[in-house]
Amino acid sequence: MLDYRYQTFLTLAEEMNYTHTAKKLHITQPAVTQHIQYLQNELKVELVHYENRQLTLTKKGQQLQKDLLLLQKEILQIQSKLAPKEEAPSFTFGATLTIGEYVMPELIEKYIHAYPTHNLSMLVDNTTSLVEYLEHGKIDFAFVEGEFNQHLFGFRKISDESFIAVCAKSNPLWKKKQPMNELFSHQLLIREVGSGSRLILETALKNKSIHIDSFIKTMMIGNISSIKELVKKDLGITFLYRNAVEEELGNGSLKEIKIIDFVIEHPFHLIYLKSANVKGMEIAQNFSHLFPRNR
C-alpha cells in the first residue's frame, strides 16, 4: 500500500481543501499540513500553493497525483493476482458518446455471450475526459473517436467511419449535392468543446480554410439524441457519424446532405497507457476483435 502521507496528498488533491481532507481521513488539519510539508521536503518540490485564496496543485503536484493514482491501481492489480481465490476478470473501460450509444450495446451483447463470467463496466464521456481518466488510472482502456497523444498512448485502429451532414426531410438541402457555402445560412448544431466529433468537424472545415463561425448561428448540444430531434424539427443541421443516424436515414426522418468536395472518413481507436502495466489488455483485444469494422 502507499505510504499514508501519499494517501493524504491524494485526498487533498481530490478535495482541494485542508479541512475537508482532515475530516475525510479522520485526522487533524495540522496533521494534513505536516504530511504535505514532509513530502515537499522529501521530494524537494512544491506540490501545492495558494493563488487568489484558492488551493491549487503545481505542475509537479499534478504529475505526482497522476503517477500515484496509476501506482495505486497497479498495487491493487498485484494484490488481486496474489489473492488465493481466483475471481472472474473485472475491468472498467471508456467509450465516447457515439461509440458508447450506437456501437457498444451490440458489442457488449456479443462480449457477454462470448465471455459470460467476465465483469465489465463502461463510462461514456468525451475524448478529453476519457484521456484524463486513463492518465489517472480510473479506466483500463477506452474506445475513442477524437484525437489523442500517440506518444503517450498505445493504440489500435478498430474501424473507419463516415462522418456526414444531415438535415430534416422538410429541408431541401438533401435533394441535390450542395457546395459547402450553401449550408452557412442554416443554424449548425454541434457537440461541446472536448467532444471528438466536434474536433473532427472543426479540423475538416479548417482544412478547407473554413471557420465554424462561417455558419450564421451555432448551438451547442451535449446529447446526440437531442441534436437529432432538433434537426428533425428543422431547427438546424448537424454533422454526425453515419452509424449514429442509420435508423433515421432508414425511416426517412433525417436526410443526408451530399456536399461537393467534402468527404470525412475518421478512424475509431482503442487506446491505453503505454507506461503502465494496464490490466485487461487481453480483454481489450478481445473487445476490438468483436468491433464491427468499416460500417
Residue position matching grid coordinates 448551438: 219
Following DSSP, what letter does each residue of 130-144 receive, concatenated? HHHHHHTTS-SEEEE
Q: Which of 66, 82, 98 is the last residue of a domain?
A: 82
1 SS3 class: coil
Question: Considering the domain boundaries, does residue 180 fall inside one?
Answer: yes
CATH number, domain with residue 251: 3.40.190.290
Residue where one domain finishes, among candidates 82, 104, 134: 82
Query: Is the domain of 19 the same as that of 60?
Result: yes
Domain-located, residue 179: yes
- Convert the pLDDT of each residue in 218-274 to its tens digit: 999 988 999 999 999 999 999 999 989 999 999 999 999 999 999 999 888 999 887
Q: pLDDT tens digits for 105-126? A: 888 888 888 888 888 899 999 8
Residues 210 and 273 reside in one and the same domain: no
How many residues are listed for the chain in this entry?
295
Any domain includes 123: yes
User: What local confidence, expressed as pLDDT, does residue 189 receive?
Assistant: 97
> Do 262 and 273 lie in a common domain?
no
Residues 57 and 113 in one domain: no
Whether 295 is covered by a domain: the verdict is no
- Which of 30, 64, 82 is the endpoint of a domain? 82
Q: Are residues 211 and 261 in the same domain?
A: yes
* pLDDT score of 87: 63
* CATH value at residue 148: 3.40.190.10
| Residues 237, 251 within the same domain | yes
**102 and 16 housed in the same domain:** no
Categorize the per-residue pLDDT at 292 as very low, low, confident or very high, splitting at 50, 70 and 90. Answer: low
Higher pLDDT, 91 or 274: 91
Full residue range of the structural domain in which residue 122 is found: 90-158+267-290
Q: Which residues contact 139 (CB under 8 A, 6 or more apart)?
A: 92, 93, 94, 123, 130, 133
**Above pLDDT 90, what percent of the chain?**
42
Instruction: Note whether 226 and 136 are within 8 A (CB).
Output: no
Measured in whole angstroms, the distance separating CA 195 from the mean position of its chain's CA atoms is: 8
Indicate whether 143 and 275 sit together in one domain: yes
Query: Do 112 and 170 belong together in one domain?
Result: no
Q: For position 252, what pLDDT does the model report?
A: 96
Do 133 and 201 fall into the same domain?
A: no
* Cα dihedral sign, 82-87-88-93: negative
What's the structural domain count of the chain? 3
In a domain, 218, yes or no: yes
Same-domain pairing of 247 and 103: no
The answer on pLDDT for 48 being more than 70 is yes
What CATH number does the domain containing 20 carry?
1.10.10.10
pLDDT of 279: 54
Please check whether residues 78 and 67 belong to one and the same domain: yes
Please, what is the average pLDDT of the chain?
87
What pTM did the predictor assign?
0.64
